[in-house]
């Protein structure tokens, strides 16, 4: 595959094939069922997919391995831009497959993620204040060196890889009425929507201060947004991109926005009740229930993606 892979490849069947391809390179992360009462949601059954236990601390390893197992890597290696998680996952996949990786991150990237990228042996470069700054620098690097670009979300290989999380979730949990998914650039929710193919309602959750997909869907085309959220290092894309937009337009039932305070509360409850140390982006899907942004029916069986763990323990809310 190349950067020009046709979007006609974005199908449930292609995700099933990707699942078989990356099997053995990723972890089959666990699923647990939690009574809604534990989070102040009486009568609701929550099924949590603990994708924060994935290699490199997030679902991003799925897409990263799909890139490296399906594309020809030049001598210059691969290059990626990231708020942190995609960079860590790409660096990990590169380390495991013996590929040279150059990772650009913005200054907003958390120290925990920066250190993780370094530990995996990538050439780490800090560029600008936000993800878009790092993305532009990575694109310039690719043009200068011939390095293979591995996009964090708006690339066919990325979407197919991320969609395998939904295939695995469904196999483990059985039928779900709805699935809540945190959205940054939208690669995860687009892949999940394609994989579930209407068998469950897919609901995207974005911070109020970082909501490129919700704004794009409302406008009818991808639009740029300003980014200002506690979850900006993982959910801080300014634009979702055309591939994500088209996939989400067809498969996402609705989008909801949550305040940063609800994200922090979700982090706190996950740590207090489950001893799950997750970053703000990883807690954002659950925040939709705590904030009342999404109100499930009393008998609804809710799937929640807990998608990222790259956070320093000292920064967890008490």
In a domain? residue 2: no
pLDDT of residue 8: 66
Domain limit, last residue, from 128, 149, 170: 149
Burial (0-12, 13-18, 19+ Cβ within 10 Å), 70? middle
pLDDT of residue 272: 92
73 & 188 share domain: no
pLDDT of residue 92: 97
81 & 228 share domain: no
167 & 183 share domain: yes
Spans of the chain below 50 pLDDT:
1-5
Q: Return the CATH number at 145.
A: 3.40.50.1100
Chain position carrying tokens 């740029």: 224
In a domain? residue 65: yes
**Quick one: tokens of 246?**
């088209």
Strands, E, within the chain: which ranges?
Answer: 31-35, 45-50, 78-81, 101-105, 123-126, 148-149, 178-182, 201-207, 254-258, 301-306
Cβ neighbours around 225 below 10 Å, total: 18
189 & 296 share domain: yes
Contact 153, 182 (CB under 8 A): no
Q: Between β-strands 31-35 and 45-50, what pairing exists: parallel, antiparallel or unpaired?
A: antiparallel
**Quick one: tokens of 3?**
């950067």
In a domain? residue 120: yes
pLDDT of residue 6: 54
53 & 68 share domain: no
pLDDT of residue 223: 96
Structural domain including 225 reads 7-59+160-315
Alpha carbon distance 67, 148 (integer Å): 10
pLDDT of residue 298: 77
124 DSSP β-pair partners: 103
pLDDT of residue 256: 98
Domain limit, last residue, from 149, 168, 198: 149
């Amino acid at each position: 595959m190349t950067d020009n892979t046709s979007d006609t490849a974005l199908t449930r069947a292609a995700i099933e094939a990707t699942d078989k391809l990356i099997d053995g390179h990723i972890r089959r992360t666990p699923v647990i069922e939690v009574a809604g009462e534990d989070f102040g949601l009486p009568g609701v059954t929550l099924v949590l997919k603990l994708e924060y236990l994935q290699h490199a601390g997030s679902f991003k390893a799925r897409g990263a391995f799909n890139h490296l197992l399906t594309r020809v890597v030049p001598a210059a290696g691969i290059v990626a831009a990231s708020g942190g998680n995609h960079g860590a996952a790409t660096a990990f996949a590169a380390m495991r497959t013996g590929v040279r990786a150059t990772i650009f991150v913005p200054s907003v990237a958390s120290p925990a993620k920066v250190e993780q990228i370094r530990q995996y042996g990538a050439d780490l470069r800090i560029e600008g204040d936000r993800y878009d700054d790092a993305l532009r620098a990575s694109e310039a690097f690719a043009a200068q060196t011939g390095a293979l670009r591995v996009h964090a979300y708006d690339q066919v290989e990325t979407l197919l890889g991320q969609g395998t999380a939904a295939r695995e979730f469904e196999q483990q949990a059985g039928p779900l009425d709805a699935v809540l998914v945190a959205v940054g650039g939208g690669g995860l929710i687009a892949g999940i929507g394609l994989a579930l193919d209407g068998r469950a309602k897919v609901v995207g959750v974005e911070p109020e201060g970082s909501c490129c997909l919700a704004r794009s869907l409302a406008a009818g085309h991808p639009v740029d947004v300003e980014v200002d959220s506690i979850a900006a290092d993982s959910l801080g894309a300014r634009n979702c991109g055309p591939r994500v937009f088209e996939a989400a337009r067809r498969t996402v039932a609705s989008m909801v926005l949550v305040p940063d305070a609800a994200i922090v509360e979700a982090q706190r409850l996950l740590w207090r009740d489950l001893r799950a140390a997750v970053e703000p982006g990883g807690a954002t899907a659950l925040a939709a229930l705590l904030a009342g942004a999404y109100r499930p029916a009393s008998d609804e069986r809710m799937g929640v993606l807990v998608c990222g763990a790259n956070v320093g323990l000292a920064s967890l809310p008490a």
